[in-house]
Amino acid sequence: MIYPMLEVIGLVNRFGTQVVHNGLNMEVRADEVFGIVGGSGTGKSVLLRSILGLQRPQAGIIRIDGRDITKMTMSQLYEVKARYGVTFQQGALYSALTVLENVELPMIEHVEMAPEARDELAMLKIRLAGLPADAAKKYPSQLSGGMIKRAALARALALDPKLLFLDEPTSGLDPISASEFDELILYLQKELRLTVVMITHDLDTIFRTCNRVGVIVDHHMEVDTLEGIVNNPNPWIQSYFHGERARARLERHGT
């Protein structure tokens, strides 16, 4: 049986009496860009944390590349973690390390490699993320918001993952930087044949990059293609894609 790149079946997450997910299903196929959308507090981050193995769900199966991570021991999970890259919303760069050291950290952790080779490979990733070479020696506090996002992306690419998770990749960026970042993601997705899963609120990003979209409503997920989801009858999805802010974009993208 061929498994999809990422598969979530019947996920249940509860905190006390508060239900976050109740039987959430999603499936991400290889080489697609999958967008996760949802209102504030609907558990987008909880979903991501469950998929990343940062918290165990009450029930459900999460398969990454066909392997169920909810049943794994810590050491098995460690191996799986080398196969995907993650960028967090605020970048989560290690503030005491330079950008270069940030990118090298996963390599040091997982791969045996000569320091010179590591330096050059890390530089390659930094350039690939569209950062100038002199950014490598800088500390995160010396970077602009856009550069932090790019540095986080370079670190996520450090181990050449097949699967890339992006948490709000364009939040806090100006529209020009945000659309440049969209193009970068598309470029990398095409060149490196990445599977990208992104949480985003940015309608421009959704329309520009995503092949399919999953919307979290009522503790489960509605998954469809971009055209399909826009025409979904659910009132929340309707107001999300047809609200004041969305209408102008829909016209522009001609969807």
Partner 1 sequence: MKVATHHGVLQVRRSDRGLELELIGEWRTLRFSEIDAALAALDLGGARRVEISTARLEALDLSGAWRLREFIQTGRAAGVEIAFEGAPPDQLRLIDETLKGASPPCTQQHPRLHPGALQDLEEPAIRSLAFLGRHAVLYGRDLVRDLAFLGRMTTTAVWGLTSVKRLRPISIARHVYDTGITAMPIVALIAFLISVIVAYMSAQQLRNFGAVVFVVDLVTIGVLRELGVLLTSIIVAGRSGSAFAAEIGSMQLNEEVDALYATGVDPFEALVLPRVLGLVIALPLLTVLADIIGLTGGALLCRFLLDMPLTQYITRVQESIQPTTFWVGVMKAPVFAMLIAMAGCYRGMQVRDSSRELGRLTTLAVVQAIFLVIFADALFAVLFMELDI
| Contact footprint for partner 1 (CB under 8 A) | 82, 94-96, 107, 110-114, 117, 120-121, 123-125, 127-128, 132-134, 136-137, 139-141, 157, 159-160, 191-192
State the minimum distance, in angstroms, from the CB of residue 125 to partner 1: 8
Structure tokens at 21: 């997910």
State the minimum distance, in angstroms, from the CB of residue 140 to partner 1: 8
Count of CB atoms within 10 A of residue 144's CB?
A: 11
Contacts of 235 (CB under 8 A, 6+ apart): none
By beta-carbon proximity to partner 1, the closer residue of 10 and 145 is: 145
By beta-carbon proximity to partner 1, the closer residue of 80 and 217 is: 80
Q: Measuring CA to CA, which residue among 236, 58, 83, 55 is closest to residue 162?
A: 83
Q: Reduce the DSSP state of residue 166 to 3 states and report it.
A: strand
Longest CA span, the chain: 56
State the minimum distance, in angstroms, from the CB of residue 148 to partner 1: 13
Contacts of 191 (CB under 8 A, 6+ apart): none
Structure tokens at 36: 């996760």
Rg of the chain taking only CA atoms, in angstroms: 18
Residue 63 one-letter amino acid: R
